[in-house]
């Protein structure tokens, strides 16, 4: 277990050896969850679909795009080429 400080902006630093074990690189997305036991869990998001539903409460309108199109646009935005 390692101690890290939360900045005024709510940011934390994940220690390098933990990032290496979790294979988290700069600009990767991570999922942050708060479970019923009061623990904060941080996991690497391996794919765009891991993020599904994470912004539901912030959505202002329904999206009429299919998932293939959304994934294509996301990967294009991120500069990643996947098939």
pTM for the whole structure: 0.52
Q: Where are the beta strands (DSSP E) in the chain?
A: 30-34, 40-44
What is the residue-level pLDDT of the chain in tens, covering all 83 positions? 889 999 999 999 999 999 999 999 998 888 888 989 999 999 888 766 656 666 666 666 655 667 778 778 878 777 755 54
Closest CA to 43 of 58, 28, 56, 55: 28
| Beta carbons within 8 Å of 14's beta carbon, 6+ residues apart | 4, 22, 24, 42
Segments making up each domain of the chain, as ranges: 16-78
């Amino acid at each position: 277990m390692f101690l890290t400080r939360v900045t005024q902006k709510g940011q934390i630093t994940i220690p390098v050896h933990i990032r290496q074990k979790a294979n988290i690189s700069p600009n990767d997305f991570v999922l942050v969850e708060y479970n019923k036991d009061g623990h904060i869990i941080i996991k690497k998001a391996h794919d765009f679909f891991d993020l599904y539903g994470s912004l539901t409460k912030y959505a202002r309108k329904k999206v009429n795009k299919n998932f293939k199109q959304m994934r294509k646009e996301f990967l294009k935005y991120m500069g990643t080429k996947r098939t």
